[in-house]
Every structure is written in structure tokens, then in C-alpha cells.
Chain A
Amino acid sequence: MKVVDNTNEDVYFNLALEEYLFKNFTESAYLLLWRNSNSIVLGKHQNVFEEINIRAIEESGIPVVRRNTGGGTVFHDAQNLNYSFITNQKEGYADYERFLIPVIKALNEMGIPAVKRRTSDIAIGGQKISGSAQTVKKGRILHHGTLLYNSDLSLLKNLLKTTAGKITSKSVKSVRSDVTNIKKHMTDQSMTMAAFKDILLEKLLPDGFEKVSLTEEDIQAIKTLMVEKYSQWEWNYGQSPKFSFEKDSAVLNAKGIKIQIDVKLEIIKGKIAKGEVIIDGLENTELIESLTGTRYGYQEILHKLEESQFNESAQIKIDNLINCFL
């Protein structure tokens, strides 16, 4: 087993690095331990708009990035340690035990009472500390997982989906789990993340390992992948499976009169493809025409609605109007 040295905490870089290793480092088995600063990481086939509160995300500036493996949405911070195994897989499918058992054994040797739960999770006392997912291609497998060491999950609360609208799609849904931090269950409360990482590596590979450093050429190729794919809206948002959005809202105008605004949208590749806006029973074609082709996002829709000046003519606060669309 070779260990790839990486201390970068940029989520875009790290996901590009992982894909680069999976596609190009095909002659051996690799382990990568890595961390991301605050970020939200989606499963490959998820609808981002079904998972996050788009307005809160845009206002927070926290990156939302699509990964190459299956499953649901995960919040990352620098107190969560990720591990990735990249190796051969000749036979078997969805074989999680091959990777989870060594990780659990290493944690147990550190005095952490971790056990396997469901197909791809690790838990302590019924609460999840680790989730994992895989991607396979041409006899190679990438298995990666999270290890919640001392994450601050309170940040997450406002960032997850909270729309009163109805979203319909065939995307892969997230399963919410009750989670706990590993550190809480350790006898040595002074252990830092850096020490946890070093000891885990020792326990995972007790016979030693070869350390691999990336060349300048590797880093350039990873940066290109990061710029062209992982930091692009087209990948992170535009890859979402198509979905429909429906929301019926009653909004008060400046005179205190209730206005009924019913919105239906079809969103394909992250952009509004068609839809209808019905105001007090009458279709408003101007509004929907101005929104068609727009990226489905808070700032983009806000801009189009302001341009339409509908909020002014109808005497509705812009905040109330945009809520009808998100």
C-alpha cells in the first residue's frame, strides 16, 4: 500500500486529486488521508436543489461540490478526516467490508468502540461516525469515507433544504442520520486531529508503507481538473437530474391585499426550461419568459425578478416574491 501525501484543505482540489489518482495511478494500491475546510459534498447523482437551502448557501459562500461516488450529502470541516482507498477490484460488488473492517479494527485498537452499521456506515452506540461510498471502473475501485473526529455540525442546520415547495425527481436522496464525534468517545481528550491522523495511519498499515509525493506535473494536471470540472457550476449544479418545482403561495401586497402566486417550474441541467406563474388565477407569461433559461439559484432569479419590475407594479416586497420560486 502506498500513501499519498496531501495537506491541501481545498475541497475542489481534493476531489480533483482523488479523481486524478483513480484514473492515473493504476499500478498499485493507494491510501489517501485528507481533510476539507467547511464545505458540502454531494453524491454523484443527487439533485443539489433537493439537498441544500440555495439562498443560505449562496449567502454563506460555503462551497457545494459534487463527488464521483454514490450516496448522499455530507458536511465537511477540518475536524472531519476523510480516507480513500484506490485499488484493484477483480470481483464482488458493493463490497464495503473489505475496507470498513480494517478501519474499524484500527479505531478499536485506538480504544474507540466503533462497530459496523448498515451496509456502509461505522457507528458508536448507534450514532454514525463514518459514512462511505464507492465508484468502480475497469477493475479499479475508489472507496472513500468520512470520519467525524470533532466536527461542528451546528453550521449545517441552516444550510439544508427547507423549502415549502414540492420538488419531484428521480434523483438519489440523502438519508439523514443521528451522528456523533469520535473524540467524545476517546479516553485521551487531548488528542489533536493531526495525532489522530498519524495514529490511524500506523494502525491501518502496521507493516509500514511507501510515501508517494506528487510531482509538479501531477499537481498541474490536478489543478486543471479542479478548474475545468470541480469548481464549475455545470458539474456541481448543472449535473443535477431534471426535476419539477411547485409552490403555491399567498403574499400580502403593500395595501394588505392577499395575492395568490402559484409557480410551476421544470428545471433541466440546473436551468429553468419552462414553467408557469399564475397570479390570482391568471397566467403571467412575461415573468416565466424572463426566467426561462436562467440558472435556478437565488441571485439569478432575484436579478430576473428585479428586472421584470413585477414586484413594483404589484407592490410586493421582492423577498416575498422570490420566496415563491425557491
Chain B
Amino acid sequence: MKKNIQMPKLSEQMETAVLAAWNKETGDMVKKGDVLFEIETEKVVSEVESMESGVLEEIFFEAGDEIKADEIIAVINCD
């Protein structure tokens, strides 16, 4: 089954955030709890852990992109 990964909304006020770095690449095995990507906004770095285990199948944004909260940024294939 494929699961969409969304840009998390880290606070009520947050409308967008910068996806500062990917810690995994397309094709990588991802385990639940692994750091998938990092967000940086207002000089705060947040490591975002994967909620799923599977293969990181697709990535729709690259490091440095400013992305709206809840936008789909990647797909993990959990099969």
C-alpha cells in the first residue's frame, strides 16, 4: 500500500515551512522512526520522523523548497 507523506503543520500559525534537507533518497528503505527529512523555519530545525516503514518511492520537492502545510511531499510504498 502506498502512503502519502505530508508537510506537517507544526503550529496553529504555520502556513508554510522550508524543507531544509532530505535524510533519505528515492529508493531507500525507511523504517518507522527514522528521520525522513528536516524542516527549518524561523531558525528552528525540526527533524521529522517517518510514521511508516517501506520504500521511499517518490519525492516531489527538493531541499530548500518552501512548502504549504499538509501538502504531499513524498510517497512511501509500504508493501
Interface residues of A (CB under 8 A from B): 43-45, 68-71, 92-94, 119-120, 132-137, 169-172, 241
Bound: A92/B13 CA distance, A = 10
Bound: A172/B11 CA distance, A = 21
Do A44 and B44 touch across chains, with their CB atoms under 8 A apart? no
Bound: A119/B13 CA distance, A = 14
With A93-B11, A172-B20 known as contacts, the answer to whether A44 contacts B45 (CB < 8 A) is yes
Do B64 and A94 touch across chains, with their CB atoms under 8 A apart? no
With A94-B11, A170-B64 known as contacts, the answer to whether A45 contacts B43 (CB < 8 A) is no
9-residue interface stretch from B34-42, B52-60, B71-79 = B34-42
Taking A68-B45, A119-B42 as known contacts, 9 extra A-B pairs with beta carbons closer than 8 A to each other, sorted by chain A number, are: A45-B38, A69-B43, A71-B43, A94-B42, A94-B44, A120-B42, A170-B63, A171-B64, A172-B20
With A93-B14, A94-B41, A170-B64 known as contacts, the answer to whether A241 contacts B21 (CB < 8 A) is yes
With A93-B14, A170-B65 known as contacts, the answer to whether A137 contacts B47 (CB < 8 A) is yes
Q: Provide the residues of chain A in CB contact with B40, threshold 8 Å.
A: 43-45, 70, 172
Do B44 and A134 touch across chains, with their CB atoms under 8 A apart? yes
- Interface residue range, chain B: 20 to 34
Interface residues of B (CB under 8 A from A): 10-11, 13-14, 18, 20-21, 38, 40-47, 62-65
Partner of B44, one of A136, A169, A171: A136
Closest to A132 in B: B43
* Of listed A69, A94, A169, A241, residue having the most chain B CB within 10 A: A94
Partner of B11, one of A69, A92, A169: A92
Partner of A70, one of B13, B45, B62: B45
A-B contact pairs, 27 of them (CB 8 A): A44-B20, A44-B40, A44-B45, A45-B21, A45-B40, A45-B63, A68-B45, A70-B20, A70-B41, A70-B42, A93-B44, A94-B11, A94-B42, A94-B43, A94-B44, A119-B42, A119-B43, A120-B42, A120-B43, A133-B44, A135-B44, A136-B44, A136-B45, A136-B47, A171-B64, A241-B63, A241-B64
Do B43 and A137 touch across chains, with their CB atoms under 8 A apart? no
Q: Provide the residues of chain A in CB contact with B62, threshold 8 Å.
A: 170
Do B43 and A70 touch across chains, with their CB atoms under 8 A apart? yes
Bound: A172/B40 CA distance, A = 9
Q: Provide the residues of chain B in CB contact with A134, threshold 8 Å.
A: 43-45
Closest to B63 in A: A241
Partner of A45, one of B11, B20, B65: B20
Across the A-B interface, the 8 shortest Cβ-Cβ residue pairs: A170-B64, A93-B11, A71-B43, A70-B43, A133-B43, A45-B20, A94-B42, A135-B45
